[in-house]
């Protein structure tokens, strides 16, 4: 609401006009009041540099950018972890079939604070026994040492195995559950893009052999593939 000011002193009939000093004091009082009002308003204004406008919300809190975050860790942390820590898929699949209760503690990972399913970082080779590559949720089923595993190659990826299998990512990495879900979604998108860089979908047919790497769930054995390579046919 705009501040209202009293009118300047008016001459009273039969009395002399106010002198110059009195009128100057009245104007100085009015200017001082206006300055005080402006100062009160300005106190509530925060100046934000242009570079911060895209990374803070209306309350000035940092905005989570899942695409940028995943891009910053993909080559630096995700791929090196899978290269260094993944194990041969064959013994994992055998253990899941024969001793499922022991397979998790022996080969898998899950956060200490979690009672969720075990996740397995794996790599391996197998022969394609089925392929559904015409779907948005494209999959390739491979036989690995007599046991089947389904490779998810996207572009739609189900589940949170990739996020949950990386020990350097946890709920504490983000601010809330929504951001945690966004993180998983972006990781899945990045994995699908990486897997589909390999062979053409038309070449993924039963009988062909592939090499793969990714994060696998236990029931059923399903791999979020981050690498997929078509191997040459045996002579």
CB count within 10 Å of CB 59 equals 5
- Classify residue 65 as exposed, middle or buried by CB count within 10 Å of its CB (0-12, 13-18, 19+): middle
User: What integer pLDDT is reported at residue 42 of this predicted model?
Assistant: 47
Is 108 in contact with 87 (CB distance < 8 Å)?
no
User: What integer pLDDT is reported at residue 50 of this predicted model?
Assistant: 36
| Cis bond before residue 155 (omega within 30° of 0) | yes
User: What integer pLDDT is reported at residue 116 of this predicted model?
Assistant: 85
> Is 24 part of any domain?
no
> Is 181 part of any domain?
yes
Q: Domain residues for 151? A: 66-230
> Is 103 part of any domain?
yes
The DSSP bridge partners found for residue 215 are 121, 224
> Is 48 part of any domain?
no
User: What integer pLDDT is reported at residue 20 of this predicted model?
Assistant: 65
Q: How far is CA 85 from CA 82, 109, 173, 183, in A?
A: 5, 11, 21, 21
In degrees to the nearest 10, what's the CA dihedral of 188, 189, 191, 194?
A: 170
CATH of the domain at 76: 2.40.50.420
Number of domains in the chain: 1
- Classify residue 215 as exposed, middle or buried by CB count within 10 Å of its CB (0-12, 13-18, 19+): buried
For residue 171 the two structure tokens come to 């709920």
Q: Is 176 helix (H, G, I), strand (E, B) or coil?
A: coil
Beta strands in the chain (DSSP E): 87-88, 119-132, 139-144, 147-152, 209-217, 222-230
> Is 54 part of any domain?
no
In whole angstroms, give the CA distance from residue 89 to residue 122: 5
Give the DSSP H or E segment for 9: none
In whole angstroms, give the CA distance from residue 85 to residue 79: 10
User: What integer pLDDT is reported at residue 200 of this predicted model?
Assistant: 85
> Is 187 part of any domain?
yes
User: What integer pLDDT is reported at residue 43 of this predicted model?
Assistant: 55
> Is 193 part of any domain?
yes
Residue by residue, pLDDT tens for the chain (235 residues) are 555 555 555 555 555 555 666 667 766 767 776 666 566 554 544 443 433 334 666 666 678 899 999 999 999 999 999 999 999 999 999 999 999 999 999 999 998 777 889 999 999 999 999 999 999 999 999 999 999 999 999 999 999 999 999 999 988 888 899 999 999 999 999 999 999 887 888 899 999 999 999 999 998 999 999 999 999 976 5
> Is 17 part of any domain?
no
């Amino acid at each position: 609401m705009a501040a209202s000011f009293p009118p300047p002193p008016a001459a009273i009939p039969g009395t002399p006009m106010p002198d110059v000093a009195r009128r100057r004091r009245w104007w100085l009082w009015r200017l001082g009041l206006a300055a005080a009002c402006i100062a009160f308003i300005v106190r509530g204004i925060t100046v934000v540099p242009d570079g911060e406008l895209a990374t803070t919300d209306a309350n000035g809190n940092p905005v989570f950018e899942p695409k940028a975050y995943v891009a910053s860790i993909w080559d630096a942390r995700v791929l090196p972890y899978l290269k260094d820590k993944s194990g041969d898929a064959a013994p994992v699949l055998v253990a899941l079939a024969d001793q499922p209760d022991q397979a998790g503690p022996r080969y898998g990972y899950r956060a200490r604070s979690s009672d969720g399913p075990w996740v397995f970082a794996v790599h391996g080779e197998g022969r394609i026994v089925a392929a559904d590559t015409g779907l948005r949720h494209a999959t390739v089923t491979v036989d690995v040492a007599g046991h089947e595993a389904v490779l998810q190659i996207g572009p739609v990826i189900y589940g949170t195995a990739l996020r949950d299998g990386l020990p350097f990512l946890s709920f504490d990495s983000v601010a809330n559950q929504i951001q945690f879900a966004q993180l998983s979604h972006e990781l899945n998108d990045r994995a699908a893009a990486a897997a589909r860089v390999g062979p053409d979908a038309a070449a993924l047919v039963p009988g062909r052999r592939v090499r793969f790497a990714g994060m696998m769930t236990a029931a059923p054995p399903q791999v979020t593939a981050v690498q997929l390579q078509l191997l040459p046919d045996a002579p």
